[in-house]
Amino acid sequence: MAYDYDLFVIGAGSGGLASSKRAASYGARVAIAENDLVGGTCVIRGCVPKKLMVYASHFSHLYKDAVGYGWSEVEPQFDWSKLVTAVDTEVKRLSQLHISFLEKAGVELIQGYAKFVDAHTVEVGDRKITADKILIAVGGKAVRPDIPGIEHSIISDDMFLLPEQPKRFAVWGGGYIAVEFASILNGLGSEVTEIIRRDLILRGFDEDIRASIQEGMGNHGVNFRLNTTVESIEKVEEGLKINLSGENAEPLVVDALLCATGRKPKLDGLMLENAGVETIGGAIAVTQDSRTTQSNIFAVGDCTDRVNLTPVAIAEGRAFADTEFGHTPQAISHENIATAVFSQPEACTVGMTEGQAREKFGDAVRCYRARFRPMFHSLTGAEEKVTMKLIVESNTDRVLGAHMVGKDAAELIQGVAIAVTMGATKRDFDATMGIHPTSGEEFVTLR
């Protein structure tokens, strides 16, 4: 049968863009459908605009820190409108840039939402399109609990377009998104309260790292309502009244509440049943090579709910294209994936947590830790601490995990991640000369 395209991709986010361009480079006829700005969550309403806001939030601390180095005090003024306008402009520029990349690669962009008609046919608007292979890369979306007044809350998508800065800001949740936006708004001068159901943020991270980030955020001025949850939200004259339950149940009145309690695959309207594509737990079921229950249909990225990170979606997308169109089978490992939390203080991690290591290797696990004031703050007087940790399996001396909380943690761990992925030992770390004076040298001097 003659198809319109060799590959049709649904979703022009990180995974879809990477796979479509790679497939086209092998000579495949490729089209990609997108009903929003090209770029996906990362470019439009995730990693990129968030990181720009993170940068903006750092300046308030730098103004204070400069005084210890002899600079005179200043009273800076922050313009929220200027920031969100600049961020939106950059997002749109990047989206257009990705469109140009598709054009150069020879990938046809089709504007609209695609849904399945059958295993080889999709419908976009009033157009029916056939393809030999179809890749689903639609990403995920924020979800909100069903409680009274939840419609008064906002989600992370809304943060980049708020017309005014909320002076009293609450965040409900303890994951990446909640922690990062709590830090951003705090750094920009808002009064911030983070509401979490447990006693520590960032479930799943190493316990020392969780505690260090939470302590650092508290030192920066973020208020925590621990072991507490939201029961209802009311619109009142003073703003939003948040009714709580748990250990810290006193009602809270704020200007805005960010609901960051979770995300799920964005599968609404795809009509997967028409193509015989099955889901498990609300995510598209795939094999290791990203193949769905329909042999010619594949899925990558957050819609599969494996490891929901931009670089992972890109790697999965390229591996799919290399395997199916480049005839060079590629396998993606979902182990030892480094990940960062752009909180204040920043954190990054790769490999196993101490808990995971002890569960697998028991008493053979040894941990090496350092906690110190970074040299930069020797003159500022700020209560800043860096935490570093290596987790080692003593029988082989292999480094199982590396963790850091502190300035530039993500930049440092990116290099360390190479060593962990290669199977470096503690002896390899010890044999490496440090760069002095830096925080990073602590990783090769831990005892």
Confidence of residue 316 (pLDDT cuts 50, 70, 90): very high
Cα 401 from chain centroid (whole Å): 19
**Rounded mean pLDDT, 237-265:** 97
Confidence of residue 289 (pLDDT cuts 50, 70, 90): very high
1 pLDDT above the threshold of 80: no
Confidence of residue 430 (pLDDT cuts 50, 70, 90): very high
Confidence of residue 334 (pLDDT cuts 50, 70, 90): very high
As given in the structure block, the two tokens for residue 238 are 């003073």
Instruction: Tell me which amino acid residue 39 is.
Output: G
Per-residue pLDDT, 348: 98
CA angle 132, 308, 274 (to 5 degrees): 35
Angle between helices 176-187 and 47-67 (to 10 degrees): 40
Closest residue by Cα to residue 42 from 317, 298, 332, 313: 313
How many angstroms separate the CA atoms of 70 and 319, rounded?
A: 53
> What Å distances lie between residue 127 and 20, 111, 385, CA to CA?
20, 11, 58
pLDDT in tens, 375-414: 999 999 999 999 999 999 999 999 999 999 999 999 999 9
Question: How high does pLDDT run on average in the chain?
Answer: 97
In 63-186, beta strands by DSSP E: 108-111, 114-118, 121-124, 127-136, 140-142, 168-172
Closest residue by Cα to residue 298 from 270, 273, 325, 277: 277
State the maximum Cα–Cα separation within the chain, in Å, rounded to a whole number. Answer: 75
pLDDT in tens, 190-212: 999 999 999 999 999 999 999 99
Per-residue pLDDT, 107: 98
The yes-or-no answer to whether 150-261 and 345-444 have a common fold is no
Q: Is domain 345-444 given the CATH code 3.30.70.360 in the classification? A: no
**Rounded mean pLDDT, 212-216:** 98
Per-residue pLDDT, 48: 97
% pLDDT > 70, the chain: 100
**Rounded mean pLDDT, 248-257:** 97
Per-residue pLDDT, 195: 98
pLDDT in tens, 36-83: 999 999 999 999 999 999 999 999 999 999 999 999 999 999 999 999
Q: What's the pTM?
A: 0.96
**Rounded mean pLDDT, 419-446:** 97
Second-level CATH architecture of 150-261? 3-Layer(bba) Sandwich (3.50)
pLDDT in tens, 3-24: 999 999 999 999 999 999 999 9
Q: Is domain 5-142+265-324 given the CATH code 3.50.50.60 in the classification? A: yes
**Rounded mean pLDDT, 338-355:** 98
Per-residue pLDDT, 100: 98
Would you put residue 19 in left (φ > 0), alpha (ψ -120 to 50) or beta?
alpha
301 pLDDT above the threshold of 80: yes
The domains of the chain are located at 5-142+265-324, 150-261, 345-444
Catalytic residue among 152, 327, 403, 436: 436
Q: Is the peptide bond before 437 cis (omega within 30 degrees of 0)?
A: yes
Count of Cβ atoms closer than 10 Å to residue 96 Cβ: 13
Count of Cβ atoms closer than 10 Å to residue 144 Cβ: 15
**Rounded mean pLDDT, 319-340:** 96
How many angstroms separate the CA atoms of 91 and 49, rounded?
A: 7
Are 338 and 417 within 8 A, CB to CB? yes
Task: Identify whether 220 is a catalytic site residue.
Answer: no
Per-residue pLDDT, 141: 97
